[in-house]
Chain A
Amino acid sequence: MKKLLLASAAGALLAGAAGAEEIKMGISLGLTGPLESISPAMQKGAELAMKEVSDSGKLLDGSTVTPVVADNTCIDAAASVAAVTRLVTAEGVKGVMGGMCSGETIASLEQVGVPQGVVMISPSATSPALSTIDDKGFFFRTSPSDARQGEVMADIVLERGINSVAVTYTNNDYGKGLADSFADAYKAKGGTVTVVSAHDDGKADYSAEVAALAAAGGDALVVAGYADQGGSGVIQGSLDTGAFEVFVLPDGMVNNVLVEKFGTQLENSFGQNPSAEGEGHDKFDALAKEAGFDGTSAYAGESYDAAALMLLAMQAAKSSDPTVYKDKVMEVANEPGEKIYPGELAKGLELLAAGQDIDYVGATSVELIEPGESAGVYREVDFKGGKLNVIGYR
């Protein structure tokens, strides 16, 4: 009897020891390329979550987490596929925090993530195309789809009693995706879209675009463009000719550049952009400051959350195998369960080990909706008094 007890105790110990492993996690970001300025903070955010989990020693019986970083260049799909292939086949990562930009994310997901069976959680790819992609359950994102922004924008516009708008968008994937999703949502909710027309960035003159939009008419003009590009060219032309006085401005336009440029001329204009608020955001900010980077930098919080979600899902699934833990990602991200904020990952791991549910809130109030993307918190802003004012979150 004594022997049996001893043997089983030893067996338990052995089993425990065998469970601990070194888990490699990939980070795929555009460290060079057009978004190279915001990548470092995103990388640090993801590494912060990995370190926190690794140091706690509570992941899968004391497994450690090692980040492996790859540069996906953001614009070059081939380079991104090569980078993620290296992460998966040469480094043997169990999950990838990335990609960064919509185009390369789609490419690396379709050519590496899905066929190789590796979970990818993107912090920043917002194209609506990623909602409908056949990801076999391997892809998630902690940023909202622009399709969602279209819905939110349509609600805001209608709530302000504006029932007919003209839409102009910057002629690229971002602008087109957002303009289409807004136009669909707005029409479905009973609004009238008089015209949807593109403008090109960096052109000499926007009189033709403004003339066309003005002729189509509408109570407001939706400008899905960039604040330091054609978007403000169109606004300038519209203000000068009196074509429109009310502008609806989505994330690419909500920017202090616009305020400096137009000041009180935007008195009646309004808009929204994705932005987190609340306890989680503040805690992450403090953690980031301690770690020596700026937590308010774009998508840094989303990166922390993406990395944390994968590790928590592993714990919930009791396995670091991506084909197993992928089914747990939605579970740990959403209700029911104890709320987990940044800096509390150890607590989350403990609860999960004890078989309890958690609801990961994280830095950006994560709430994943089907098919595995953030529901998205948007802040509604207006420009009264020549300033950028936040009026609420939705």
Chain B
Amino acid sequence: MDMLNALVAILNFVVIPAASYGAQLALGALGVTLIYGILRFSNFAHGDTMAFGAALVILITWGLQAIGIGLGPLPTALLALPFGIALTAVFILGTDRVVYRFYRSKRSAPIILVMASVGVMFIMNGLTRLIIGVDEIRFDDGARFLVSVQQFRAWTGLSEGLSLRVSQALTLVVTALACWALFRFLNRSRAGKAMRAYSDNEDLALLSGIDPERVVRLTWLIATALAVTAGTLYGLDKSFKVFNYFQILLPIFAAAIVGGLGNPLGAVAGGFIVAFSEVAVTYPWRKIATYLGFEPQGLLQLLSTEYKFAVSFVILIVVLLFRPTGLFRGKSV
């Protein structure tokens, strides 16, 4: 019984929250890594693409709610998501046309494109605030819990509770589906193969008749879809606040780099590594130890929670020192 309690406590406080946070990071990191792999620059505007897309999704959600369309137990935002993606994609392709294409045609150094993306970031930052404001917005409707703590306790009779929110389950499922679709697309489809070819060697790809502009457009489309999905899932799970999307950029980049920039598989792994290291390393093990029959004096906490960000960056530094291209062999500049 005590073993079970210990297991449930770990699941409830470490595994489930870290897995859903990791999934959100993974989706974000996938977008960053795709842009890096194919367009060859770190897109700083990615966090704000998430915010911009999520803001549009919220507006559409409100519209749908107003005319009485919903998804029952699932959040209405899922229905609004495709529209949000489409609108954001139009905007992002616009920024590519106006900003990035100019530098790409000049074959500018990556750092110039990075700086241009910082500019785009600030503009999107302001735009999102103009559109939806700076306040915190909650737009999750439908059922909140798949399993709530009270239900779980009643079912099992354990003293520890377990909760699984709809948004967490949804995050995991959607992330899994998105990854599966993306890998299938990259490995099997003609367009995906063209993208990989372009990523591996631009000149050779051009020689073999691949249209570079088409590859670029596809890349932006896919990255935007991933970003808006990640932004919406994150907003559903926590809440929407423009500033938080700016903050999440840092762990997303950490995830992409740990996994290996440019490597999609690495981005997914990186997302989970960063999330789990933030939650697990700072977790005090006292409760677990008590269940296992020890009587610890202290909290048995390795590091206090203030240092959780330090943890992911220590991992980042160690990885960069010993495997500069990341755990999964990305592209190093």
Contact = CB atoms under 8 A, between A and B. Distances in A.
B138 interface: yes
Contacts of A232: 136
B279 A211 contact: yes
Contacts of A211: 13-14, 17, 279, 282-284
Contacts of A171: 306
Nearest to A211: B13
B18 A207 contact: yes
Interface residues of A, number: 31
Given A197-B304, A212-B282, A216-B286, A207 B17 contact: yes
Given A215-B284, A242-B12, A242-B163, A208 B239 contact: no
A3 interface: no
Given A208-B308, A228-B135, A214 B13 contact: yes
A240 B163 contact: yes
A208 B286 contact: no
A198 interface: yes
A212 B283 CA distance: 5
A266 to B, nearest CB: 15
B279 to A, nearest CB: 5
Contacts of A233: 238
B165 interface: yes
Given A215-B283, A215-B287, A236-B238, A242 B161 contact: yes
Interface in A186-211: 195, 197-200, 202-205, 207-211
Contact of A204 (B12, B17, B248): B248
B301 A212 contact: yes
A237 interface: yes
A261 B238 contact: no
Nearest to B153: A242
Provide the main secondary structure of the chain B interface: helix
B14 to A, nearest CB: 6
B299 A216 contact: yes
B5 interface: no
A241 B244 contact: no
Given A205-B21, A211-B279, A216-B299, A241 B286 contact: no
Nearest to B165: A240
Looking at B165, B305, B308, which has the most chain A CB atoms within 10 Å of its CB? Answer: B305
A203 B247 contact: yes
Interface in A210-225: 210-212, 214-217
Contact of B13 (A195, A200, A205, A243): A243
A241 B12 contact: yes
Contacts of B148: 242
Interface string A222-266: 000000100011001100111100000000000001000100000
B243 A216 contact: no
Given A208-B279, A216-B284, A242-B149, A261 B138 contact: yes
Contacts of B12: 241-242
A233 B238 CA distance: 8
Counting chain B residues whose Cβ lies within 8 A of the other chain, the interface size class is 35 or more
Interface in B155-213: 161, 163, 165
A19 B17 CA distance: 73
Nearest to B281: A208
Contacts of B150: 242
Contact of B305 (A202, A208, A236): A208
Contacts of A261: 136, 138
B313 interface: no
B299 to A, nearest CB: 6
Contacts of B308: 208
B285 interface: yes
A233 B135 CA distance: 14
Interface string B14-51: 10011001000000000000000000000000000000
Nearest to A205: B21
Nearest to B245: A204
B251 interface: yes
A210 B13 contact: yes
Nearest to B288: A215
A244 B299 CA distance: 18
A232 B136 CA distance: 10
A232 B17 CA distance: 17
A216 B9 CA distance: 12
Contacts of B241: 202
A207 B21 contact: yes
Interface string B220-249: 000000000000001000110101100110
B244 A203 contact: yes
B13 A202 contact: no
A205 B306 contact: no
Nearest to B300: A215
Contacts of A210: 13, 17
B282 A208 contact: yes
Contact of B283 (A202, A208, A237, A241): A208
Contacts of A237: 17
Nearest to B138: A261
A200 B308 CA distance: 11
Contacts of B248: 204
A200 B136 CA distance: 16
Nearest to A257: B136
A95 B304 CA distance: 46
Given A215-B287, A240-B165, A242-B12, A207 B244 contact: no
30 contacts: A171-B306, A197-B304, A202-B241, A202-B247, A204-B238, A204-B248, A205-B238, A207-B17, A207-B278, A208-B278, A210-B13, A211-B279, A211-B282, A211-B284, A212-B282, A212-B284, A212-B304, A215-B9, A215-B13, A215-B283, A215-B286, A228-B135, A228-B136, A236-B238, A236-B239, A241-B17, A241-B149, A242-B150, A257-B136, A261-B138
Given A210-B13, A241-B13, 20 more contacts: A195-B284, A195-B299, A197-B304, A197-B305, A204-B248, A204-B251, A205-B275, A207-B13, A207-B278, A207-B279, A211-B279, A212-B299, A215-B285, A215-B301, A236-B238, A240-B163, A240-B165, A242-B149, A257-B136, A261-B138
- Interface pairs A-B: 10 shortest CB-CB: A242-B149, A207-B17, A211-B13, A215-B284, A204-B248, A242-B161, A208-B279, A215-B287, A208-B308, A205-B21
